[in-house]
Amino acid sequence: MAQKKSSGSGKEKANAKATRRVPMRDFSRSLPMSLLRAREAVMRQFRPSLRRHDLTEQQWRILRALAAIDAIEVTELAHTAFLLAPSLSRILRDLEARGLIERKTAETDLRRGLVSISDKGLRLMEVVAPSSEAIYAAITRRYGVRKLAALQDMLGALEASLAGMGQPEEAGE
Amino acid sequence: MAQKKSSGSGKEKANAKATRRVPMRDFSRSLPMSLLRAREAVMRQFRPSLRRHDLTEQQWRILRALAAIDAIEVTELAHTAFLLAPSLSRILRDLEARGLIERKTAETDLRRGLVSISDKGLRLMEVVAPSSEAIYAAITRRYGVRKLAALQDMLGALEASLAGMGQPEEAGE
DNA sequence: GCGAGATGATTAACATGTTAATTGTCTCGC
DNA sequence: GCGAGACAATTAACATGTTAATCATCTCGC
């Protein structure tokens, strides 16, 4: 470290060097940061409860998605739980090892895998769901039912707005 | 796999087993999912541009935070860029190796590290910032300036609402 | 001034995000 | 029916998220 030095009267100039260069919006108010902080504020409420049952947020998402249906293909599950295929692959391996889910291969297409929640998985959900719902209710109460609904609508609209904006892909990649 | 079998007439029952058990809100409409999808929709716009310059979203956050000031302590930077200390530690190590930032130790307290952006880092920002701003402008235009401001306000309010809700910490941990 | 506890930063260990490469199966056209 | 793509899923490789542990320094009471 330290092959940096300001020659001559550069002390003050070096001090001002990085100040206010490359003008950009106020960083902390960018949309990605707002969304990130808001989501973190919400998840911070849930994580301790999940952690007590040795579940991560993603594992819980998968169990919830599975609890609503009988069986589902891996690709479709990835879409539902909003996970990338590689992440899902690893998590399913783990959940299966823990006996919380069951897997089999589709009979008509050996490439496709079918996933379903196990009885053990359902029992775990029955234990975790109440406190999870209670936390969600508390959040809703604090923020306001109407406001929450309005926020969800605006978030959905944002998604929809951006749906068309495909990758900029500057013609020539 | 496959030590599961339904005895007797369990075929159909097993089929209905996981269907609609453990009643919970519609999964895809939960607030965490809405926030996650919205943020992903936004970041999807930025990632390709950042990637062309070998920058991750987090590295870019750090550079942006540094560009606004002369120097900053590691802990404060973690707060500003909304990164956990361990992540920041790794990223700073990498950014320093790439010559994009500079580090030194605080003179009054040898535990504290001071980070600042380098000239090379500033030059990189000058290259990346325009397309980044253009993308942000496009998003703003699509979604609407007023709506965007309103959304930011609601996200801020959500954060504020949850600020008090400390960890449930069921007395007895 | 010394030693116990507090504090800043890093490291460790494991889970997930992200893109690319791989593997196994399928679908077609021929 | 076979071989070239298409497709589903996994694996690989690396970066980050997350919690716990470690290391170095500092602070303060005594």
CB contact under 8 A, A125 and B22: yes
Nucleic strand C contact set for B 57-116 (CB, < 7 Å): 73-75, 85-86, 88-90, 92-93, 103, 109, 111-113
DSSP B92-120: HHHHHHTTSEEEEE-SS-TT-EEEEE-HH
pLDDT value of residue A5: 38
pLDDT tens across A53-106, in order?
999 999 999 999 999 999 999 999 999 999 999 999 999 999 999 999 999 999
Give contacts of A 34-93 with B, CB under 8 A: 34-46, 48-49, 57, 61, 64-71, 80, 82
Q: Do B67 and A161 touch (CB under 8 A)?
A: no
Residue B142 is nearest to which of A103, A118, A161, comparing CB atoms? A161
Residue A18, number of CB atoms within 10 A of its CB:
24
| Residue A171 pLDDT level (bands cut at 50, 70, 90) | very low
**Cα A153 to Cα A121: distance, rounded to the nearest angstrom:** 32
Coil vs helix vs strand at B100: coil
Q: What's the confidence (pLDDT) of residue B2?
A: 37
Q: Which residue has the tokens 């991750």?
A: B56
The amino acid at B106: A
Tokens linked to A165: 């904006």
* Measured distance CA(B9)–CA(B22) in Å, rounded: 24
Q: What is the pLDDT of residues B139-157, one digit of tens each?
A: 999 999 999 999 999 999 9
Closest-CA residue of B relative to A16 is: B70
Q: Tell me the pLDDT tens digit for each residue of A10-67.
A: 344 444 444 556 767 788 889 999 999 999 999 999 999 999 999 999 999 999 999 9
Nearest to B38 by CA among B156, B155, B162, B130: B155
B43 strand C contact, CB < 7 Å = yes
